[in-house]
């Protein structure tokens, strides 16, 4: 063996040892988050033309740092999961210029409010970061930075959770607004969605992702933004059926992934059921209002007079912990606590399938 070859071999061994030492045990090093406003930690704050923003009060009224771009009164589900995983800090948004260097070591949030699985879904908000672009941002900018920080290649990604929460906007602000084309059936539109998402997950897999947490679409027909068109009924069944159709397809991706993405593990979090159970029997979880938004909302002509987002500086309800929804679409922190707790600890496969997030975190790959 030549001297140069021997030195190269030693350096390679040292690099592998460094990677191995950083992936010891069953600890999760961090999270990479992709999706829409339900998991956005502030990326849309940096989009000049976006109409989907939450960087003003009353958003963040119960968040330690105040308004941050999270579409709720306090913490969202990924914040709470990060705490349960004992990560050293909340996951920073990709679009924040300070999210670089050592700040990427414990993960980055790429999610963008009003985005969907399909590129065209964000048209209502004028400017969003599409899911495809979120994945490109991870591949082209964050992943090289992470490898530079850790001194090794993408083998390290097996120590990270990849959380994906998207799909609802593709129905609420695309298909049911007629954007999908009137000749497209709900089944065909849903099949296209799940197929597109499957390809996006495979892309993350080829980059090194191995542990995935897939959030279901919530009960779309129960959102307060639909109150004006509900005609007294609690929820609009057609919208909930669309969500159920998508969720069934999403859950089936987990079984298919066993052959399509060897050595990967995917968990499906059924936030649809968790929220539906609360709406069905609010008092069982300490809630008193499952129908109305907590904050004063901006009326929208598209939604028959109801609104989606809180009015800037507007009023809020007195007991935010007793409301299921903070604005016309997004759950309160109290509901996010219910979702995250069940995602992390439940052993019921109707809540989380096939295992919970805590078990996923401890899996040795």
Catalytic residues: 37, 327, 330
The string of DSSP letters for 198-230 reads HHHHHHHHHTT--EEEEEPPP-GGG-GGGGGGS
Q: Does residue 122 sit in helix, strand or coil?
A: helix
Q: In the 8-state DSSP scheme, what is residue 304?
A: T
The string of DSSP letters for 23-42 reads T-TT---EEEEEESTTT-SS
Place of tokens 């089936």: 252
Q: Write the CA distances from 114 to 103, 121, 126, 341, integer angstroms.
A: 26, 8, 9, 25
Q: In which region does residue 171 sit, left (phi positive, over 0), alpha (psi from -120 to 50) or beta (all else)? A: alpha
> What is the C-alpha separation between 28 and 106, in angstroms, rounded?
9
Q: How many CA atoms are closer than 13 Å to the CA of 175, on its beta-carbon side?
A: 26
Strands 289-293 and 352-353: unpaired
Radius of gyration of the chain (CA): 21
Partners of 238 in the β-ladder: none
The string of DSSP letters for 166-180 reads --HHHHHTTGGGTTT
> What is the C-alpha separation between 9 and 11, in angstroms, rounded?
5
Q: Which token pair is 165? A: 């929460």
């Amino acid at each position: 063996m030549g001297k140069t070859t021997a030195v190269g071999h030693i350096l390679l061994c040292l690099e592998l040892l460094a990677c191995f030492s950083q992936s010891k045990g069953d600890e999760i090093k961090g999270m990479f988050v992709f999706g829409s406003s339900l998991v956005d930690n502030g990326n849309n704050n940096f989009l000049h033309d976006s109409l989907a923003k939450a960087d003003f009060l009353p958003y963040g009224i119960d968040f330690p740092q105040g308004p941050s771009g999270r579409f709720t009164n306090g913490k969202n589900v990924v914040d709470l999961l990060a705490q349960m995983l004992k990560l050293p800090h909340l996951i920073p948004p990709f679009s924040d210029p300070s999210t670089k260097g050592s700040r990427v070591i414990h993960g980055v949030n790429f999610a963008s409010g009003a985005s969907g699985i399909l590129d065209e879904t964000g048209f209502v908000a004028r400017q969003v970061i599409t899911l495809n672009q979120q994945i490109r941002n991870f591949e082209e900018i964050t992943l090289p930075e992470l490898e530079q920080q850790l001194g090794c290649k993408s083998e390290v990604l097996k120590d990270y959770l990849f959380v994906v929460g998207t799909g609802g906007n593709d129905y609420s602000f695309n298909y049911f607004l007629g954007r999908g084309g009137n000749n497209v059936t709900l089944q065909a539109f849903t099949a296209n969605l799940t197929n597109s998402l499957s390809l996006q997950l495979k892309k993350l897999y080829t980059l090194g992702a191995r542990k995935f947490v897939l959030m279901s679409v919530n009960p779309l027909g129960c959102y307060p933004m639909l109150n004006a068109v509900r005609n007294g009924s609690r929820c609009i069944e057609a919208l909930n059926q669309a969500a159920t159709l998508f969720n069934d397809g999403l859950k089936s991706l987990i079984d298919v992934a066993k052959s399509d993405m060897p050595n990967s593990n995917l968990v499906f979090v059924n936030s649809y059921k968790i929220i539906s159970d609360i709406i069905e029997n609010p008092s069982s979880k300490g809630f008193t209002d499952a129908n109305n938004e907590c904050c004063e909302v901006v009326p929208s002509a598209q939604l028959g007079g109801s609104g989606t987002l809180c009015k800037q500086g507007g009023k809020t309800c007195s007991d935010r912990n007793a409301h299921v929804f903070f604005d016309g679409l997004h759950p309160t922190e109290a509901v996010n606590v219910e979702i995250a707790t069940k995602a992390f600890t439940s052993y019921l496969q109707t809540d989380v399938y096939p295992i919970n997030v805590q078990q996923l975190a401890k899996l040795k790959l």
